[in-house]
Amino acid sequence: EAGVVQSPRYKIIEKKQPVAFWCNPISGHNTLYWYLQNLGQGPELLIRYENEEAVDDSQLPKDRFSAERLKGVDSTLKIQPAELGDSAVYLCASSLAAGAAGELFFGEGSRLTVL
Amino acid sequence: GENVEQHPSTLSVQEGDSAVIKCTYSDSASNYFPWYKQELGKGPQLIIDIRSNVGEKKDQRIAVTLNKTAKHFSLHITETQPEDSAVYFCAASGVQGAQKLVFGQGTRLTINP
> What does the alpha-carbon distance between residue B74 and residue B85 come to, in Å, rounded to a whole number?
17
Interface residue A41 vs chain B (CB under 8 A): yes
Nearest to A56 among B97, B99, B106 (CB): B99
> What does the alpha-carbon distance between residue B49 and residue B74 come to, in Å, rounded to a whole number?
11
| Cα-to-chain-centroid distance, residue B12 | 16
All residues of chain B having their beta carbon less than 8 Å from the beta carbon of residue A100 are 97-98
Nearest to B103 among A4, A42, A102 (CB): A42
Of A2-11, A93-102, B15-24, B73-82, give the lowest mean pLDDT range. A93-102
pLDDT tens digits, A17-52 = 999 999 999 999 999 999 999 999 999 999 999 899
> What does the alpha-carbon distance between residue B2 and residue A113 come to, in Å, rounded to a whole number?
30
CA max distance for chain B: 42
Residue A58 has a CB neighbour count (10 Å cut-off) of 10
Interface residue A53 vs chain B (CB under 8 A): no
> What does the alpha-carbon distance between residue A104 and residue A48 come to, in Å, rounded to a whole number?
12
Interface residue B89 vs chain A (CB under 8 A): yes
Res A101: pLDDT: 64
pLDDT tens digits, B70-79 = 999 999 999 9
List the pLDDT tens digit at each of the 113 positions of chain B.
889 999 999 999 999 999 999 999 999 989 899 999 999 999 999 999 998 888 999 999 999 999 999 999 999 999 999 999 999 999 998 755 556 789 999 999 999 99
Averaged pLDDT, A14-19: 97
Res A67: pLDDT: 97
Res B98: pLDDT: 52
Residues 6+ apart with CB under 8 A from B27: B1, B2, B3, B92, B94
Mean pLDDT of chain A: 93
Which of A37, A51, A94 is the best mutation test for B, with the most CBs of B within 10 A?
A37
Coil, strand or helix at B4 = strand
> What does the alpha-carbon distance between residue A20 and residue A7 come to, in Å, rounded to a whole number?
9
Dihedral Cα B33, B34, B37, B42, nearest 10 deg: -120
On whether the CB atoms of residues A30 and A50 are closer than 8 A, the answer is yes
Coil, strand or helix at A99 = coil
